[in-house]
Amino acid sequence: MATNGDGRRELERLAERIRYHEDAYRRGEPELLDSEFDELYDQYVELADTLGVPAAERLDAAPGADHTEGFETVEHRVPMLSLEKLSPNRKDSRGAPIPLGEQLAQWYARRLKELELAPGARVPLLVEPKIDGISVSLVYEAGVLVRAVTRGDGRSGDVITRQVEESGAVPRRLDGLASGALEIRGELYWPISAFRAHNARLERAGERAIINPRNGCAGLMKRKDPEGLGEAGIRAFLYHVPWTEGVALPDTQSAILGWLRARGAPVYPEDQFARVGDAAEALAYCEAFGARRGALDFDIDGMVIKIDELRWYARLGETGHHPHWGIAYKFPPERKATRLLEVSVQVGKSGKLTPVAHLEPVELAQTTVSRASLHNFVEVERKDIRIGDLVYVEKAGEIIPQVVGVARDARPPDARPVSRPAVCPSCEAPVTDEGIFLYCLNEACPAKVCERLVHFASRAAMDVEGLGDKLVEQLARAGLVSEPHHFFALTLGQLAGLERMGDKSGQNVLDALEKAKARGLAKVLVGLSIRHLGERMAEDLAAYFGSAERLLELAGRYVAGDPEAVAALAPDKGTGAIEGLAKKTADVIFAELDSPRVRAILAGLKERGVSLDAVVERREEIAGVAGKTFVLTGTLPTLKRKDAEDRIKRAGGKTSGSVSKKTDYVVRGDEAGSKLEKAAQLGVAVIDEAELLRLLGGA
């Protein structure tokens, strides 16, 4: 039997793998199929649930999740939690998949037990679509909308009141509520028809189309100037009321939907949700709904099943991540068959050659798919995919489409095998085999150069606003830029002289470049497109070395085989000073860092005033706080929770979401919950904000 410590270590290992693959995905070099990635993620979520890991410490609820610079952040009065998921990937101990129906039955049986009801009892459930939008919290006082806030990290989110008001998605005033206050939660979404109409307008204006309705909706809600937002046609479905003051609510979720509708709030139409008697009926409704989801004017990624009667909620409770009164049902991914017309080869920024499938266009999850990733040539050979074949394409959620298999029996006689390229399609340099991937190692390869420059300016790296792939391509083609530091030598004349650019847009790019100079070492390292050097590793390296100078000095010694440097950084077994940096990875990263090319880029950046120092959060240990673990509960009188946590961390302390024997202090605020009881049981000291401030003051 695994101990909790083992579980935590396994969870960290899973997290590390997920971060690695997310990073690879963000670099445009995915190494896993989406279904494999989903499976990994589900394993993580399941283990985190089993261990009761609180939201703030989990990958799937990273603090500050969607915070945007320039938006005011406020704390949610009641945290916005996630939902537990039934997953098509869950397996039993022998590796056999557990059918969704069985998972749901198990979940339902656990609820009955917690409610001390007989195993065969029927507790009605409400089943609703799980819309793929952005969650929003709305506070109404005396019937008037006073605040709209994003989910954020679940504890605090960004204030988007004006954006929501302008969007016209929810009423500014609810009918028949002259007094009292309440919070209503729901989902903002972009109806597919409105999204398409908007894209058609963009296209006519010669602008780039928005890729999907969900991200498009999130982008609109973060628009600094919301005037005219109403034209986009954003809509909302509201489904939950976490608290009220002086407002009486009905006692079931389903009746609340009717109550909200009567007050003019947008809720799911009557034929899109159902109150059912038990888990089996809920499953049948989910499956039936899945068959008609293609006809809806919005994307859904599953259904939500909720205990309908609110009187049970307090008894059922919640983890730091999800309440026990609801669960999400995820549809199996939509799959279509289509013809593989051609296979082209794409060159990534690391020189990796990826086969790309060109398909006869097919409608999949509300978008037309005509291209799909084939990942690598080994995969193509393993699946024996041939040009002319009828192939199966899958798309899970918003993720890029994949070719998942071939209809062998429908193979036309003239189907042609996909041949591995012997030379790079961009520069014709010979390609090199590395594991399952093929690489173009020519540093001057035009495709590679361009991809690297685009990556340098991208959000993951230096985040230079306005410097997108089209402009980078123009600059590279004009011979103005071939390495990152060249960006910082651009002049207004050069920028403004490019097609579709002018003085104003040129100056904007220069301003954005100026701003990017202060991003710091970690971002610069990410921008170098070095293999295995993703965001997390870059942060760790920057934090450890503090400056590019020290990093390069050690990289040089490492590459030269200096035993001290090797022993410190990446010993043969396990990892050295930098967690997760194993020998094989270190060899690649340090060799590239030490290369003349990277040294020249870093020197060039420095010369042009780009900061190559780590942006360090100043940490000053305070005795009495350093090394201690704090759990915050309830609302503190003056400090925001996030600020309190930051101050504890800066003083060398740790914060955790749940009380355990390792907790040193529980800090009690207003409306503190069950954590106080737990603290009492375990004999953990409970202090208030004043006491915490005294500790932080060093007294």
The residue ranges that bind ligand IVH (CB under 6 A) are 81-83, 128, 130-131, 135, 187, 239-240, 304, 323, 326, 328
Residue placing its CB nearer to ligand IVH in the complex, 187 or 389 = 187
Can you read off the two tokens belonging to residue 668? 């009690």
Closest residue (Cβ) to ligand IVH?
135
678 is catalytic: no
Residue placing its CB nearer to ligand IVH in the complex, 77 or 335 = 77
Helix (H, G, I), strand (E, B) or coil at 245: strand
CB of 307 to ligand IVH, least distance (A): 11
- The whole-angstrom separation of Cα 677 and Cα 683 is 10
Residue 313 φ/ψ, nearest 5 degrees: -60, -45
From the centroid of its chain, how far is CA 560?
39
CB of 299 to ligand IVH, least distance (A): 11
- The whole-angstrom separation of Cα 443 and Cα 347 is 12
Residues 6+ apart with CB under 8 A from 687: 665, 666, 667, 668, 695
CB of 242 to ligand IVH, least distance (A): 9
Closest among 55, 78, 68 to 159, alpha carbons compared: 68
Residue placing its CB nearer to ligand IVH in the complex, 397 or 446 = 397
Tell me the pairing of strands 437-440 and 402-406.
Answer: unpaired
Beta bridge partners, 187, equal 135, 237
The angle, 0 to 180 degrees and rounded to 10, between the axes of the packed helices 548-559 and 583-593 is: 110
Tell me the pairing of strands 665-668 and 685-688.
Answer: parallel
Q: How many residues are listed for the chain in this entry?
A: 699
- The whole-angstrom separation of Cα 51 and Cα 45 is 10
CB of 135 to ligand IVH, least distance (A): 3
Residue from 85, 91, 113, 130 carrying the catalytic annotation:
130
CB of 166 to ligand IVH, least distance (A): 21
Closest among 416, 443, 411 to 427, alpha carbons compared: 443
Closest among 233, 392, 389, 251 to 311, alpha carbons compared: 251
- The whole-angstrom separation of Cα 688 and Cα 672 is 11
From the centroid of its chain, how far is CA 313?
29
Can you read off the two tokens belonging to residue 5? 């410590």
Closest among 86, 56, 525 to 303, alpha carbons compared: 86
CB of 65 to ligand IVH, least distance (A): 11
- The whole-angstrom separation of Cα 180 and Cα 173 is 13
Sign of the four-CA dihedral 284, 290, 291, 296: positive
Residues 6+ apart with CB under 8 A from 682: 659, 660, 661, 663
- The whole-angstrom separation of Cα 699 and Cα 693 is 9
- The whole-angstrom separation of Cα 4 and Cα 28 is 36
Residues marked as catalytic: 130
